[in-house]
Amino acid sequence: MIGRLHQRMEELQLIAPPLSKSHPYYVSSESCLSKDVSTSDDAATEPELLRCAGCKEVWYCGREHQSQDWKWHKHIYKYAKEHPTGICIHVDRGEGSGLINKLVQHVIATPDDILIVAADTFGNDLMSPPLPSPFGRLLGWDIQMYCNSRMNEILPNGRIFGMRNDVINSAAIYLGCELQSGLSRYTNLTGDIFVTGRRMSDGRCLNKDSLWGILNFIWDAMDLYGEENADEIVMPTLQMWARRYKEQTWVPSGGDGGINVYSIDV
């Protein structure tokens, strides 16, 4: 099996996408995500971002932010280095709440093997850079999403705009929602996506049940943004719910349907 994967990698000649400071959506540090690091329209002339050499799963715009993020990343680094096997979740396109999108998980031997899995769906060299989820980080998960770069325009500021006349992916759109505004950075994202993630407290893998739980959390949170005094209540309420989530006492408003929304790994 591993030999076949390596052969497939050579056939596709797939490598990690080039990383430059024009693309802040490649990074995992909260400092990098909150800062506009764009400096030029010519990404080729800018220094490359740093990829963590230990876990090979996260990127930073520089050593300063890598050091700042270490208190969070060290748990993922240690666990991923010792347990490189991971999970990637294929999320089908679909409109609505994002809660009924079909989720299928695949076990991958190394972080780079997601390139092979995605290539079989998107086609060669059509996988986007890794896209972060603000709500995922709030709940203690380092989540990365990958969409089809032929169907979606990837803007220099890290936002996505669906270009093709196809079905949008509501799950991806909700995962891209900003905490302060509730607006998604991935407008009309179209087509299927792949999702990977590790829990920041211990490096354990996100699976389809825990991803479904996160989507429920975001769906419940959307009601907060319609209140008259939303500016005053949104962040305190989200932080309170996030504490309950991390204590594993939060329950989706619509019920969990018998699904363990705190499940990890396979």
Check residues 23 and 162 and name the one with the higher pLDDT: 162
SS3 at position 152: strand
User: Given this model, what pLDDT does residue 230 score?
Assistant: 78
131 DSSP β-pair partners: 145
- Region 193-198: what's the mean pLDDT? 93
Looking at mean pLDDT, say which of 20-24, 25-29, 170-174 comes out highest: 170-174
Determine the Cα–Cα distance for residues 261 and 208; give it in Å rounded to an integer: 9
**Cα Rg of the chain (Å, integer):** 18
Kindly indicate the confidence band of residue 165, based on its pLDDT and cuts at 50, 70 and 90.
confident
User: Given this model, what pLDDT does residue 66 score?
Assistant: 73
For all residues of the chain together, what is the average pLDDT? Answer: 78
Residue 264's alpha-carbon distances to 50, 80, 116, 204, 206, in angstroms, are: 28, 14, 23, 6, 6
pTM: 0.77
User: Given this model, what pLDDT does residue 80 score?
Assistant: 67
How does pLDDT run across 166-185, given as a tens digit for each residue?
Answer: 899 999 999 999 999 999 99
User: Given this model, what pLDDT does residue 110 score?
Assistant: 79
- Region 2-6: what's the mean pLDDT? 36
Indicate whether 69 pLDDT > 60: yes
Kindly indicate the confidence band of residue 223, based on its pLDDT and cuts at 50, 70 and 90.
very high
Determine the Cα–Cα distance for residues 140 and 200; give it in Å rounded to an integer: 5
% of the chain exceeding 90 in pLDDT: 41
Indicate whether 3 pLDDT > 90: no
How does pLDDT run across 99-136, given as a tens digit for each residue?
Answer: 999 999 998 887 778 878 888 888 877 888 888 899 99
Indicate whether 44 pLDDT > 60: no
- Region 233-256: what's the mean pLDDT? 95
Determine the Cα–Cα distance for residues 152 and 191; give it in Å rounded to an integer: 9
How does pLDDT run across 5-21, given as a tens digit for each residue?
Answer: 334 333 333 333 333 33
Helix (H) or strand (E) holding 3: helix 2-12
DSSP state string for 77-109: HHHHHH---EEEEEE--B-SSSSSS-EEEEEES
- Region 219-224: what's the mean pLDDT? 95
Indicate whether 43 pLDDT > 70: no
Q: Is 4 exposed, middle or buried (0-12, 13-18, 19+ CB in 10 A)?
A: exposed
Indicate whether 207 pLDDT > 90: yes
SS3 at position 95: coil
User: Given this model, what pLDDT does residue 162 score?
Assistant: 85
Q: Note the helical H segments in 13-163.
A: 30-33, 63-68, 70-82, 113-122, 134-138
How does pLDDT run across 133-158, given as a tens digit for each residue?
Answer: 999 999 999 998 999 988 998 887 77
